[in-house]
Amino acid sequence: MPQKAQEIAEQVKGQLGGVEGISHIEAVKGYLNVYFKTSDYARRVVDEVLANGNNFGRGAKKSETVMVEYAQPNTHHSFHIGHARNTILGEVLARLVEFAGFETIRASYPGDLGLGVITVMWIYDKLYKGQEPEGVHERGQWLAKLYVEATAMLEKQENETPEQTAQREAYDAERREMYRKWDAGDEYVRELWRVTREWSLEELREVLKMLDVKMDVWFYESEVDEPSKAIVEELIAKDIATDERPQGGAVIVKIDEKLGLTKEKYRTNVILRRDGTTLYLTKDLALAKVKFEQYHVDRSIYVVDVRQSLHLQQAFAILKLWGFPQAEKCYHLGYGFVSLPEGAMSARRGRVVLFKDVADEAVKRVLAVESEKSGDVPANEREKIAYQIGMGALTYSMLSVDNNKDIVFDINEALSFDGRTGPYIQNAYVRANSILKKAQVPGSKFQASGSFDYELTKHEIELIEQISRFPQTVEQAANEYRPLVMASYAYELANTFHSFYHAVNVMQTEDETIKNARLQLVSAAKQTIENALRLLDIQAPDVM
């Protein structure tokens, strides 16, 4: 029986009499608005924040374990801005589910084998052995340059002479031979691989450190390659996979057919090439088994480019066929790819924007404006704070767009410090801190008191409301696996604080009781901003 919302609201309003703690109720446009007594509500919110501190907003302990897999760059390339988006999204998601109460495992899965890797090893061995530059980043980036050069040598050119064709084919034969030797476990090639691979991994670890990411588990493609072959046999034995090798084919899984679907959805995919080598899908199946059985993962989240959506859906479907109940809680957090104004990034052509370069540029830009904009940043902390602010800008720019949207990376936008940006939120934190410093009140040592018993301004009420939304925002962002929800909230909270800051001068408040209440409110706001920033993997500097 359909009823107008407005009528219901009026009915309910009529039935509610005077309730303790509620000042008045109104029914308007189909909404029932309940007004709490501000003094009670303000005290309740502020007390809760100050009592819980860093843990304000933390969810109750959950029984499930979540693994977030992110930061899966290939070795022998360099970490670019697209990898940065992946890593930031993954890390923030991990922080969100962890804070929401889940046991959380962070996993990295570098691609350390394949033709791309061999290509770099080939040119290094042939032309550059022993010439690697000093410095972790320099060496990692250098490998990426070698890849570009090797690709040019190995790619078919237009109008090439017969000599050039012969040369190119000879190079390619060398590369194929190296791949064969690697596969056969040739000691020389394996050593070459171990050394160059380690250079890439060193760089990756360095980058993760810059992003304040601490991985719990490292999976490597090379380590799941062999075990995944056994899985193929198991799937054949269970009649999930179809072995077409006797007919000169591959091993495939007819996913739709096995699931009993009549309409085409997951299609059919190959899990073992006719030559007996494994594929991406094969390795992902093997890895999933490890995640479920060795790490007891209940929810497995994959932070992977949205273009791999079908492949992951296929993997999840096969896991289900295989009998893993956790397959239902596998989740692909897809994200749109990051391109440049001049077009898609291409490691082959060397057209990439490296994360390290952007980070360096970020620091440079902050330092350039720091003296004019900053208050009193101590000289010995300028570099560090510039890094916090620069990275805050970059990180927030990656989080403030929904993950399924493509991004055209514009460094001027990513490193903007004005408006809806990381530094804007950091600045709200700094201002709160500045007031508290002025008041010489130690950060979180406030005593609860009933001191909000005065006519609160609308800015104070709005700030209290905004703070009180933090716990439910954590829960929503974690449940929906959406970092954007927290990113938006953090901006709104900062925005509310900035408005409050201008409208209400805390230190000039004459009434001591009111001043004390406002200091408590500022302290609660500072704590909440700090917690939100932490979840967003953005540092909160004391001054800026």
Partner RNA sequence: GCCCCCGUAGCUCAAUGGACAGAGCAACUGCCUUCUAAGCAGGAGGUUCUGGGUUCGAAUCCCGGCGGGGGCGCCA
- Rounded Cα distance between 4 and 120, Å, is 69
- Rounded Cα distance between 179 and 91, Å, is 34
Q: Which of residues 84-143 bind RNA (CB under 7 A)?
A: 111, 114-115
8 Å CB contact between 120 and 143: yes
Give the one residue of 181, 488, 513, 534 binding RNA; rule: CB under 7 A.
488
Q: Which amino acid is at 228?
A: S
Q: State both tokens at 254.
A: 């007819």
Which CB atom, from 159 or from 508, has the smaller least distance to RNA? Answer: 508
Residue 37 binds RNA (CB under 7 A):
no
Which CB atom, from 157 or from 277, has the smaller least distance to RNA? Answer: 277
What are the distances in angstroms from CA 525 to CA 17, 349, 444?
A: 34, 48, 11
Give the one residue of 154, 495, 513, 534 binding RNA; rule: CB under 7 A.
495
Residue 321 binds RNA (CB under 7 A):
no
Residue 35 binds RNA (CB under 7 A):
no
Which CB atom, from 240 or from 252, has the smaller least distance to RNA? Answer: 252
Which SS3 state, helix, strand or coil, does residue 13 take?
Answer: helix
CB of 287 to RNA, least distance (A): 11
Look at the block and give the residue holding tokens 């055209």: 408
Largest Cα span, the chain: 95
Give the one residue of 175, 431, 481, 516 binding RNA; rule: CB under 7 A.
431
CB of 25 to RNA, least distance (A): 12
Which CB atom, from 24 or from 296, has the smaller least distance to RNA? Answer: 24
Give the one residue of 24, 129, 176, 307 binding RNA; rule: CB under 7 A.
307
Give the one residue of 485, 535, 536, 540 binding RNA; rule: CB under 7 A.
485
Q: State both tokens at 275.
A: 């030559």
Give the one residue of 84, 250, 345, 477 binding RNA; rule: CB under 7 A.
250
Residue 435 binds RNA (CB under 7 A):
yes
Which SS3 state, helix, strand or coil, does residue 22 take?
Answer: strand
Give the one residue of 124, 424, 452, 481 binding RNA; rule: CB under 7 A.
424
8 Å CB contact between 15 and 8: no
Which CB atom, from 145 or from 273, has the smaller least distance to RNA? Answer: 273
Q: Which of residues 270-289 bind RNA (CB under 7 A)?
A: 270, 273-275, 277, 279-280
- Rounded Cα distance between 401 and 413, Å, is 13
Cross-strand pairs, 301: 68, 331
CB of 434 to RNA, least distance (A): 3
Output the DSSP codes for 190-215. Answer: HHHHHHHHHHHHHHHHHHHHHTT---
Which CB atom, from 104 or from 314, has the smaller least distance to RNA? Answer: 314
Q: State both tokens at 523.
A: 């302290």
Closest by Cα among 60, 59, 46, 84 to 477: 59
Q: Which of residues 1-20 bind RNA (CB under 7 A)?
A: 2, 4-5
Q: Pattern of binders to RNA over 49-88, x per CB under 7 A?
A: -------------------------x--------------
Output the DSSP codes for 440-471. Answer: T--TT-PPP-STT-S---HHHHHHHHHHHTHH
Q: Pattern of binders to RNA over 349-388, x per CB under 7 A?
A: -----------------x--xx-xxxx-------------
Which SS3 state, helix, strand or coil, does residue 110 take?
Answer: coil
- Rounded Cα distance between 52 and 60, Å, is 13
Give the one residue of 416, 451, 473, 516 binding RNA; rule: CB under 7 A.
416
Residue 484 binds RNA (CB under 7 A):
yes
CB of 202 to RNA, least distance (A): 21
